[in-house]
Chain A
Amino acid sequence: MPFIPHTHADKDSMLETLGIASTEELFDEIPKNIQCDGLPDVPDGISEMSMLRHMAERAHNDTTGICFLGAGCYDHYIPAAVWDIASRGEFLTAYTPYQAEASQGTLQLVYEFQTMLASLTAMDVANASVYDGASALAEAILMAVRVNRKSKSRRVLVPASTHPFYLATVKSIVTHQGIDVEIVPSVDGVTPISDIDLDEAVAVVLQQPNFFGVLEDADSLTTKAHEAGALMIGVVNPMTLALLKPPGDWGDTGADIVCGDGQPLGIPMASGGPSFGFLCTRMAHVRQLPGRIAGRTQDKDGNDGFVLTLQAREQHIRRAKATSNICTNQGLLVTAATIYMTLLGPQGLVEVASACVRNTHLLVDRLTSHPNVTKHFNTPFFHECVLDFGEPADKLQQKFLKHGILGGHPLTGLIEKGEQSMLVCATEARSEQDIERYYEALENG
């Protein structure tokens, strides 16, 4: 009986208190014909030692080698202290801070997280997370439609250069509220700002850098969106904001809603989750922001403390009229990210971002020195770039794996001749030797 502490004496004494002979009687309100006879098709339990041996074999099976894959999930170095502290039982095994006085640790941490995210994005306020970057974009679009009451339209423009899985998620979630998501085609990997028809658009989305790693003209699109009465939604990688202009400073008055995925901030890749999504906005729109928000307040003696605030936005108060149905979010990942940002500080984050940019440019220069490899787009990029390899990318990927190289993300169906292209990335965790090994794998393919 794993994790059940009852001795026979405990059980007998409890049954006696209840005045019953067996625990079976406790289930006498469940109609007999819907009771099942145990779970015969689920194997019997095993020991922790056996389970860990089995899981270690499975984990070992998935060891690939040197990662040059990005596409929304990145292989960054995570300082030892991040998960040592985040895995403390008091963070790991607490729940949503409903009892504020018994949850000051989590609440203060979330307040500090909100401060860091707001500063990174140059926005006024951040929430305490949503599930991931893709669902964050869906929530951002729903929020924009609620905020922009002047616009009668439900037309939202999303560039084709946005992460394709984010686009898919947005379509699954927002179309059910009558929102018309219109995809803006890219030209040479960027969104053609001057050609966009913003007539009657309620909001415009822009991912910076976009899915292809390319830098978009966020300033022009933001100003143009505002002139047309549309809200500007920025999708950003928080790590890049150490070097890139934050969305709060885009164009005339900055983006109105900013979202993205926090995985680069100290979260392991872990097959893509758990990570966390974040949402930031202007103070004027805070009451339409979904998810938990921590706020500073005072106790009855005037001492400072923290609570969950603006709860009238949320499902447990507002029910069918809530800003979202979100309840449980990604608290533990927010804890890790807050520790990560604290350990790096402004200078550490600049160094990581710079190393990512330098390494990716180094990688691109080295690989394109091979006669078969060329850059797909000739536009400024950050730490990801599309390369054409002149042969089927999925087969090439398998060849690279034989050399211990996870070479990139094939772009079949996403760009012209995408079946011969890969999106590559080299984070600060890649060395010059790693890059050289990639080149050797390419040459010896």
Chain B
Amino acid sequence: MVDTIFEKSRPSRRAAAQRIEGEVAHQLIPEPYRRTSPPALPEVSELQAVRHFTNLARRNFSIDTHFYPLGSCTMKYNPRGAHRAAMQDGFLKRHPLTPTSHSQGVLACLFELQEILQNVTGTAQVCLTPMAGAQGELTGALMIKAYHADNNDHERTEIIVPTAAHGTNPATASMAGLVAKEVEVDADGDVDLESLKRVVSAKTAGVMLTNPSTCAVFERRIQAISDIVHDAGGLLYYDGANLNAILGRARPGDMQFDVLHLNLHKTFATPHGGGGPGAGPVGANERLAPYLPTPMVTKSDDGYRWVDESERPKSIGRLSAFMGNVGILLRAYAYSLLLGGNGMCNVSEYATLNANYLMKRLADAGFHPAYPDRRATHEFAISLRQEAKETGVTAMDFAKRLLDYGFHAPTTYFPLLIPECFLIEPTETETKEELDAFADAMIAILREAQQNPELVKQAPHQQSVGRLDEVHAVRHLDVTAH
């Protein structure tokens, strides 16, 4: 590690970036309300600050620097043009409570984005405010709950999720005050219909599904699932984590989903930012649209305006202080303009081509796709169980060694039901050369695992730190420098 910024601090040193003349405003604040000792913020020069954070940046892998095939995260190129579009003064300096008379520019963008996303998902209405996929999920769960409550159907307290579901799905159910029930996934990665029939009941509020699923295959029996759930009085929620696979090719609304979220930081290429911000707009069919959160944007004769709960009495209400992550919504809107409907169809085509090609190359080299008889979608899972058994080298070891080869690791150990799993998502923006280089690295690591397993087990060797001890971090908890 480099020294922390606090170790570089010296009393009374400071940057020139923001200095303001004038007295400390103590006389305007009554004594009992005053702070008595200053906070321990660093005291460094502007150059020290710039150098420190620039050097920290260089210790990151990122899409701009490395192939980043993190499954289920859609680490595609984030266009600089979309970034610049959102970073203009008129957008950055707009206060959220500016009257609509002086907000027609941003409102027009948001309204058109709502329309684009309705078209893309095949839904009746879209609300843009949820600030990440997980908040979109919560939105959907609360809408399902509100719908049943509206129908005096208070016994529906269960949300069904596949055993392979992302952890946010059951966590969301709990946050919404619902109970998560699991449904089995069969050997081909599809939801087991017999298991679904067993778990569906008069208590079923709804089912949360990702399609393509977290097993990275298309849920072929989606219509049968929809019928079973709807016939039992439940609703269908679509987790849009994997929408990149079917963008412009199949729409969740056409698959009879009632409500869904999109991850704009995945499918619509907004920057992941080192862990966010995301944006998780929620769309719904006619039946569930009245329950969408507020605010939304509408268009009337005298221009665009916000719609709040006074016009949407059934809404589940507000989920953020203002309008969610508008800056991210603007980037997604700019990306939609660049691609257009035609470009979006190319996204799913080439994302799928890249994933199938890479899966084939790895399978040909002796790796084991989790579902060898299935097509890859925009991603695919391989199991390194046999390699681990034969060489003692685990998926985690493979992941760490890939860093030395200059590749960010795929998602590891997810989905949980595939042992020693790699979930690999190359995205449409990678070249064939990059995919070949990744496949070659995997083959080289497999050879190392067979010939010199310790080399792989001790990886990484060429990063700024060696393999880090997560258990030590928990046992000797150190979460602040002071």
Which residues of A390-433 are within 8 A (CB) of B? 394, 397-398, 401, 406, 409, 428
Given the interface pairs A125-B480, A322-B167, the reply to whether A89 lies near B62 with Cβ below 8 Å is yes
- Residues in A neighbouring B441, C-beta threshold 8 A: none
Among residues of A, the one whose C-beta sits closest to the C-beta of B175 is A325
Give the one of B41, B43, B99, B325 with max A CB within 10 A. B41
Residues from chain B with a CB closer than 8 A to the CB of A219 are 32
* B50 and A85 contact, CB distance less than 8 A: yes
> How far is B414's CA from A401's CA once the two chains are assembled, in angstroms?
54
**A34-61 Cβ-contact flags toward B at 8 Å (1 or 0):** 1110111111111110011011111111
A309-B474, A354-B23 known; A38+B345 contact, CB < 8 A: yes
B104 near A348 (CB under 8 angstroms)?
A: no
Q: Chain B interface: which size bin?
A: 35 or more
Verify if A120 is at the interface (C-beta below 8 Å from B). yes
Do residues A350 and B24 form an inter-chain contact, with CB atoms below 8 A? yes
A335 contacts chain B at the CB level, 8 A cutoff: yes
CB-CB under 8 A from B73, the residues of chain A are: 95
What chain A residues lie within 8 Å of B336 (beta carbons)? 42
- Residue in contact with B278 in the complex, picked from A17, A118, A328, A348, CB distance below 8 Å: A328
CB atoms of A299 and B466 under 8 A apart: yes
A77 CA to B428 CA, complexed, in Å? 39
Q: Are A343 and B65 in contact (CB under 8 A)?
A: no
- The answer to whether the Cβ of A131 comes within 8 Å of any Cβ in the partner chain is yes
Roughly how many angstroms separate A89 CA and B86 CA in the complex, as a whole number? Answer: 16
A59 lies within 8 A of B56 (CB): no
A102 touches B60 (CB 8 A): yes
A98 / chain B contacts, CB cutoff of 8 Å: 70, 409, 411-412
Is the Cβ of A57 less than 8 Å from the Cβ of B76?
no
Contact between chains at B18 and A115 (CB < 8 Å): no
The number of residues on chain A lying at the interface, defined by a beta carbon within 8 Å of a beta carbon of chain B, is: 201
**CB pair B131 A94 closer than 8 Å:** no
A309-323 interface bits toward B, Cβ cutoff 8 Å, 1 = contact, 0 = none: 111101111111110
Contacts A93-B272, A272-B326, A324-B175 given; indicate if A348 touches B14 (C-beta within 8 A). Answer: yes
Task: Tell yes or no: B277 within 8 A of A by CB.
Answer: yes
A346 at the B interface (CB under 8 A): yes
Confirm or deny: A253 has a beta carbon within 8 angstroms of a beta carbon on chain B.
no
A373 CB–B CB distance under 8 Å: no
Contacts of B1 in A (CB 8 A): 104, 108, 303-306
- Determine which residue in B35, B321, B360 has the highest number of CB atoms from chain A within 10 A of its CB, and name it: B321
Interface residues of A in 114-140 (CB under 8 A from B): 114-116, 118-120, 124-126, 128-129, 131-135
Interface residues of A in 137-164 (CB under 8 A from B): 142, 163
Which residues from A are CB-within-8-Å of B372?
none
Q: Does B195 have its Cβ within 8 Å of any Cβ on chain A?
A: no
Q: B109 at interface (Cβ–Cβ under 8 A)?
A: yes
Asked whether, in the complex, the Cβ of B15 is within 8 Å of the Cβ of A295, the reply is no
Q: How far is the CB of B446 from chain A (nearest CB, A)?
A: 19
Give per-residue flags for B1-39: 1 if the beta carbon is below 8 A from chain A beta carbons, else 0: 110111000001111011110111110111011111011
From B53, B86, B361, A109 is in contact (CB under 8 Å) with B53
Question: Inside 8 A of B180's CB, which chain A residues have their CB?
Answer: 319-320
Q: Does A11 contact B (CB under 8 A)?
A: yes
Say yes or no: B134 contacts A89, CB within 8 Å. Answer: no
B338 touches A51 (CB 8 A): yes
The chain A residue with its CB closest to the CB of B473 is A297
Contacting residues, chain A, for B30 (C-beta < 8 A): 215, 380
Which of chain B's residues have a CB closer than 8 A to the CB of A312? 474
Q: Which residues of A have CB within 8 Å of B85?
A: 51-52, 55
**Contact between B346 and A4 (Cβ–Cβ < 8 Å)?**
yes
Give which listed residue, B61, B95, B135, contacts A75 with CB less than 8 A.
B95
A398 to B102, CA, bound (A): 10
Q: Cβ of A442 < 8 Å from any Cβ of B?
A: no
A88 contacts B54, C-beta separation under 8 Å: yes
Decide if A187 is an interface residue (CB 8 Å cutoff).
no
The verdict on A294 contacting chain B, using a C-beta distance below 8 Å, is yes
A194 within 8 A of B: no
Interface stretch, picked from A173-181, A196-204, A225-233, is: A173-181
Interface flag for B298 (CB, 8 Å): no
Closest 5 CB pairs of A and B: A272-B322, A89-B64, A59-B90, A332-B273, A272-B96
* 15 pairs, CB–CB < 8 Å, chain A vs chain B: A23-B350, A26-B376, A48-B81, A58-B105, A58-B109, A62-B90, A71-B97, A79-B18, A81-B50, A85-B53, A95-B70, A101-B465, A245-B32, A305-B466, A342-B41
Given contacts A131-B277, A320-B180, 4 further A-B pairs with CB under 8 A are A39-B248, A89-B63, A115-B482, A345-B41
